Amino acid sequence: MQPLNILQPYSGAGQLTGQARVYPNLNPAAAIPVERDQIFRLNSFFDNYRLIRGKERAQYVPNSRYVFVRTTDGEMLLHTRYRHPALAQGRPVLYAGEAHFDNGKLRWWSNGSGNYRPDPAHAEQAGLPMDQFYSYEAILKGAHTRESGEKQATLQTKMMALRYPSHPRPGHGGRT
């Protein structure tokens, strides 16, 4: 078993075709003070995610929609209620958006942030799997739910095939 890996700070090397873009806070008034020890940091272990809050040793299984920012220091900060500028203390970020987790699995993430408005072209800066990225416009149209439903239906079909295999075919262990 491999050790738990904290998401690596964004280095930019080999991940983008251009330079990293830094997004400024477009609404300074939204950078309200919050309890910093209530903000989560994101850890990943293969395709499972865990949250660590403040100085606690405990790890939490994410099971909700979170607002996130990737700070210029490379840290991934999340919370269910705090807004992006509150997480980043009003500072510029590498990326901001929303992420939805189901029992520790990342289901989708987007560039949904009205205060930073990150460009989908720089989504790699978030450091999250690009195959689960949806632009905020696609989220508004429900694309993330349609594709999630299609993936679930495919998985159910495969599980049914394993449980109830069809009749044996010639040359595959059955009668010919």
**Residues in the chain, pLDDT under 70:** 1-18, 147-176
Q: 149 in a domain, yes or no? A: no
Q: 162 in a domain, yes or no? A: no
Q: 98 in a domain, yes or no? A: yes
Q: State residue 100's pLDDT score.
A: 97
23 class by beta-carbon count within 10 Å (0-12 exposed, 13-18 middle, 19+ buried) = buried
Q: What are φ and ψ of residue 20, in 5° steps?
A: -65, 140
Q: State residue 35's pLDDT score.
A: 93
Q: Which of 105, 96, 102 has its CA nearest to residue 69?
A: 96
Q: 16 in a domain, yes or no? A: yes
Q: 82 in a domain, yes or no? A: yes
Q: 155 in a domain, yes or no? A: no
Domains identified in the chain, total number: 1
Q: State residue 146's pLDDT score.
A: 78
Q: 20 in a domain, yes or no? A: yes
Q: Domain residues for 69?
A: 5-136
Q: State residue 148's pLDDT score.
A: 57
* Burial call 69-104: b when 16+ CB within 10 Å, e when fewer: bbbbeebbbbbeebbbbbbbebeebbbbbbbbbeeb
Q: 145 in a domain, yes or no? A: no
